[in-house]
Structure 1
């Protein structure tokens, strides 16, 4: 028979590992707010529905804003006089100069009517596919910018230069009969013509440009991203659809969009993780 074993006080103590496991506090589950703020892979059908409904709502509200023609024309005169006082009222000269080059102004008309939507949707798709972790926060910037613009349309109706009384601006769409534009002609009745401030052509194009410049890898893509809003600014002025100061309004709305996204996610959207786990 073997020697009897004696259970010492030390042996009777619980295993250190077990003690640690028992004493460790349970891991706190993330709160609802933390889960909402956490970057996660977007769901394709939800995003398609969200963008479609959001754009429909934006168009509905924008066009439902009362077309305060007299106030819009009065505000246009005020903007024009303000720009003259600041020495930046060159829209008329640019408009007349570009109108003399038919092929160029026709290209600008189609650029104004189409690229505004096409490239914005393209950047959203690219973000969804290549930067899913940054998609929701960057999309929030765009949505908040657009929401702020709707408030601007209601509070400050503004006629574009081409509709000013005695402004001597050329409506390049009418003169060159650009097909499919909602700025002039029969299709103009479907869109509020006195919602020029702020310019969402600038708000959206700068959003696209910054996103491409920050996240694209090839240098040529970054350069094109930086040039896109600059080209858009030239187009909106050359076609007499906006004043310079409308572009400033668009930038202010975009700044608000970035601020709201930063406040919600705690970081600039471009600094969030690129990839996230797929949804369960």
Structure 2
């Protein structure tokens, strides 16, 4: 993305200064933590690596309660049928009939979840350093609360349901690199489908870019990304529609956490943080008058 993509009108920049983190609140260690500050590259790389490792460790350490996960999947399927929205099987079979399309969606599911999320973080770090920490907090809080869902509500994806008649597109088309295929499936908890972090993360990416970019086609693509992700997770039989609702609720929690901590939503914070002004030199001692 070019510099023109993120350049904002002067009036918008002035209106973006959050009140709760300035003035008296900005004094002291806690006040400094709650105010916009310049990210440090080495710290961000380390933080993201350690955080994702911790998330994966905890997610995969959640007991794979197969029996409960299958019962919950049957319950979700009945609820969706009762609500008249149980169209996952039709979408799965229709898209699977077009080989190149479903294979492309398999690779989309396996890769873009990470690539685009990291790309948005890099974009924020480069072009919106003042908003980076708050937006990163949204992502981390969204992901953290998802772990609670994985523990409290183990859920089998549609492709693993008993008698669900879904096509496991990854296995059928031998998609390489997916955490649901081959030996890699043993490295990931297969019954952690609720909430869907593919939706949580893609919606975080989409809303972040839509709120901060100024080029119209970039903003349109930002909104299309989570919509396309929703189609992909359903077509590949990796999630129910209701898993996506869970991902949206997790993102709402993440936005609320950032709002409480920073006193403003990330897009309302200043785009850049000015360098701290040097402290004035102490006044020279005056010679005593005779």
Q: Which residue in 1 is equivalent to 2:138?
A: 141
Q: TM-score, normalised by structure 2?
A: 0.86
Q: Shift of residue 33 of structure 1?
A: 1.8
The alpha-carbon deviation at position 150 of structure 1 amounts to 0.5
Aligned to 2:161: 164
Q: Distance in 2 between matches of 1:68 and 1:222?
A: 41
Q: Is the 8 A contact 1:120 1:205 kept in 2?
A: yes
Distance 1:58 1:229 in 2: 22
CA contact (8 A) 2:142 2:200 kept: yes
Question: 1:80·1:89 contact (CA, 8 Å) conserved in 2?
Answer: yes
Please tell me whether the aligned partners of residues 161 and 169 of structure 1 are also in contact (alpha carbons under 8 angstroms).
yes
Counterparts of 2:239 and 2:32, CA distance in 1 = 42
Asked if the contact 2:174/2:181 (under 8 Å) is kept, the reply is no
Match of 2:181 in 1: 184
Q: What is the rounded CA distance, in whole Å, between the counterparts of 2:46 and 2:74 in structure 1?
A: 40
Q: Partners in 2 of 1:60 and 1:71 — Cα distance?
A: 21
In structure 1, what is the equivalent of residue 199 of structure 2?
202
Partner of 1:264: 261
Q: Shift in Å at residue 186 of structure 1?
A: 1.6
Q: Does 1:251 align with 2:267?
A: no
TM normalised by structure 1 equals 0.89
Q: Is the 8 A contact 1:206 1:229 kept in 2?
A: yes
Runs of 4+ residues deviating >4 angstroms = none
The runs of 5 or more residues in structure 2 that have no matched partner are 1-22, 279-290
Shift of 1:160: 0.1
Equivalent residue number for residue 286 of structure 2: none
Count residues with an aligned counterpart.
Answer: 254
Select which of 219, 241, 260 maps to 2:216.
219
Q: What are the Cα deviations for residues 159-204 of structure 1, in whole angstroms up to 9, with x where unaligned?
A: 0000000000000001101011111222101100000000000000
Superposition deviation, residue 278 in structure 1: 4.5
Give the unaligned 5+ runs of structure 1: 1-26
Larger CA Rg, structure 1 vs 2: 1
Q: Residue 38 of structure 1: CA displacement?
A: 1.2
